[in-house]
């Protein structure tokens, strides 16, 4: 065990530490921002939903902009430094904000500049190492990012446990934002000192397998986590691939529809959840942080098991299983709130958040795998990029809808709608073909074509031999006679 840890640490690049610190900052803010909406600025869950939608929209647009700029500039490092520095400055600004509108503007700027680094971070890994080590190095990068995210939630929980007694809760939130801002600036300084110079090799963002799409498996596209669109999306090309018969396969289009519905459903549950715990159930901020720490710990621990289950049972089966478990979870919350209207027992909530995290690993990994397998080789990269864009679109729609419903009709109805959308998503998934059958059909179609080509080649050879045998040998008259 000790030897394995030493080997793991030895293989880590120095600049991964900057990535871990930046993710620590984002992990803390993922819960701190919803809490500040209610506690610092006195706004409701409806305002939180609008904020999430705006931030997600800016993140999607920013991913498209920065991906093109980084390719045009033939640089990677400046975009990572910019993303970390801007996040630090924005958090310093949030610590001084006096209104919800200032909070919204600063968070939109934060996410816009954060995706400047999100669109190139994994590319720095593959462009500074040989192809044989990509998987191992990207895995290490993911692990460091995940560790930073979980540590950020732990820092938030401990801070909000102890500091409110010294400063008061509102001042403790502001001081924590200030501390996160300084950490963001430190991460940008570490990036300046440690990230290697990179010569871009993948300016067209063509995927090699599904490695690049794995970069964001750890953070659910919830609240304020960035969207990683590693593939350069071209809107006209996307529309053409969706409309033309030579574009995306029917099964791929059905899966995209299922994914959009699923992410809207996940958002209807996940976006109001922090304020449900804080406002309706009355948990202190430290406990809210603790619940989300459990969720992300579940994500980290479940990842290797999810990967093995996908290989063993198939990605479509795992995708449907994860949605079924989340459907039961969402429906259970909706029913409990409708009948009792109070907080479930603490042990039940702990178990629910662990399951909430575990199911994310199964859902996200199987979703990426399904996209990769259902798409044809010629448009696989575009499909994987579109998968992330669809996830962001789903979260934008869910932010507006969940805030409106939870604010006016209650959390129970919002969670019931979340469950209903997962039912519809599962219904669409029933008509998505098994990727194994799609692969077999492609092989079957290729074999006759190959045989025809081989047959024609053999015919040509036979004719050539016949013609050669029937041709008279002018050099040897005896042979000719």
Domain segments of the chain as ranges: 10-197+212-225, 241-446
**Spans in the chain with pLDDT lower than 70:** 1-5, 7-9, 11, 119, 131, 134-135, 199-236, 381, 437-481
Task: Look at residue 125 in the predicted model and tell me its pLDDT.
Answer: 79
Dig out the tokens for 306 from the structure.
């999810």
Tell which CATH classification among 3.30.565.10, 1.20.1600.10, 3.40.50.720, 1.20.1250.20 matches the domain 241-446: 1.20.1250.20
Give the pLDDT confidence of 181-193 residue by residue, as tens digits. 999 999 999 999 9
Tell me whether the CATH fold assigned to 10-197+212-225 matches the one assigned to 241-446.
yes
Tell which CATH classification among 1.10.10.10, 1.20.1250.20, 3.40.640.10, 2.60.120.10 matches the domain 10-197+212-225: 1.20.1250.20
Classify the C-alpha dihedral 212-218-219-221 as positive or negative: positive
Task: Look at residue 208 in the predicted model and tell me its pLDDT.
Answer: 40
C-alpha 53/C-alpha 399 separation (Å) is: 5
């Amino acid at each position: 065990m000790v030897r394995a840890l030493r080997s793991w640490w030895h293989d880590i690049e120095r600049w991964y530490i900057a990535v871990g610190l930046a993710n620590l900052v984002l992990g803390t803010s993922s819960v701190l921002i919803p809490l500040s909406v209610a506690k610092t600025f006195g706004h409701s869950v409806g305002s939180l939903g609008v904020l999430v939608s705006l931030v997600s929209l800016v993140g999607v647009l920013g991913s498209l902009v920065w991906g093109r700029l980084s390719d045009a500039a033939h640089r990677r490092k400046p975009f990572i430094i910019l993303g970390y520095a801007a996040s630090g400055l924005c958090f310093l600004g949030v610590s001084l904000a006096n209104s919800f509108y200032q909070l919204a503007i600063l968070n939109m700027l934060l996410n816009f500049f954060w995706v400047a680094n999100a669109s190139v971070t994994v590319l720095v890994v593959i462009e500074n190492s040989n192809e044989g080590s990509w998987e191992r190095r990207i895995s290490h990068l993911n692990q460091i990012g995940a560790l930073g995210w979980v540590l950020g939630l732990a820092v938030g929980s401990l801070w909000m446990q102890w500091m409110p007694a010294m400063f008061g809760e509102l001042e403790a939130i502001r001081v924590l934002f200030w501390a996160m801002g300084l950490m963001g600036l430190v991460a940008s300084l570490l990036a300046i000192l440690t990230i290697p110079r990179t010569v871009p090799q993948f300016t067209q963002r063509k995927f090699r397998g599904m490695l690049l799409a794995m970069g964001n498996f750890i953070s659910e596209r919830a609240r304020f986590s960035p969207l990683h669109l590693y593939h350069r999306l071209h809107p006209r090309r996307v529309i053409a691939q969706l409309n033309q018969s030579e574009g995306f396969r029917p099964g791929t289009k059905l899966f995209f529809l299922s994914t959009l519905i699923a992410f809207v459903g996940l958002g209807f549950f996940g976006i109001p959840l922090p304020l449900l715990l804080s406002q309706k159930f009355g948990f202190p901020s430290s406990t809210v942080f603790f619940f989300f720490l459990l969720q992300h710990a579940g994500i980290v621990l479940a990842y290797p098991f999810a990967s093995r289950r996908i290989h063993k049972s198939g990605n479509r089966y795992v995708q449907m299983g994860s949605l079924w478990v989340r459907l039961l979870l969402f429906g259970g919350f909706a029913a409990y709130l409708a009948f009792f209207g109070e907080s479930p027992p603490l042990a039940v909530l702990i178990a629910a958040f662990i399951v909430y995290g575990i199911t994310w690993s199964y859902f996200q990994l199987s979703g990426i795998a399904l996209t990769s397998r259902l798409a044809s080789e010629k448009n696989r990269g575009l499909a994987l990029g579109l998968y992330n864009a669809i996830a962001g679109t789903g979260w934008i729609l869910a932010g507006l809808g969940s805030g409106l419903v939870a604010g006016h009709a209650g959390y129970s109805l919002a969670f019931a709608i979340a469950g209903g959308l997962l039912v519809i998503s599962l219904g669409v998934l029933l008509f998505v073909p098994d990727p194994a059958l799609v692969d077999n059909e492609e092989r079957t179609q290729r074999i006759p074509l190959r045989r025809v080509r081989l047959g024609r080649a053999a015919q040509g050879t036979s004719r050539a031999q016949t013609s050669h045998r029937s041709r008279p040998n002018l050099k040897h008259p005896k042979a000719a006679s």
